[in-house]
Amino acid sequence: MIKVQFQLEDLSCPSCIKKIENTLNKQSGIDEARVLFHSNKVKATCDETIINADGVRSIIEKLGYTVVK
């Protein structure tokens, strides 16, 4: 398992948290994903044999959010 963290552009509402968390937590290989609203961060624990950091970033970006780093 690896831990990944991404900084997002400002999140506009709490429903953004649920959208990102629900989508990531349904993905195979992601053990747990959390969104920290006030710091605009996404933290996830992943099985890197199934999904890597780039895969998680891609999912977030496909939802319409900009990953800063």
* Residue 6 in tokens: 């991404």
Report pLDDT digits (tens) over 3-18.
999 999 988 888 989 9
* pTM (2 d.p.): 0.89
Q: What residue segments make up the domains of the chain, in order of their start? A: 2-62
Query: Any idea what DSSP says for residue 68?
Result: -
What is the structure's pLDDT at 16?
87
Mean pLDDT of 45-60: 96
Please name the amino acid found at residue 14. Answer: P
State in Å, rounded, how far the first CA of the chain is from the last one: 21
Report percent pLDDT > 90 for the chain. Answer: 83
The answer on pLDDT for 48 being more than 90 is: yes
Class of domain 2-62 as given by CATH: alpha beta
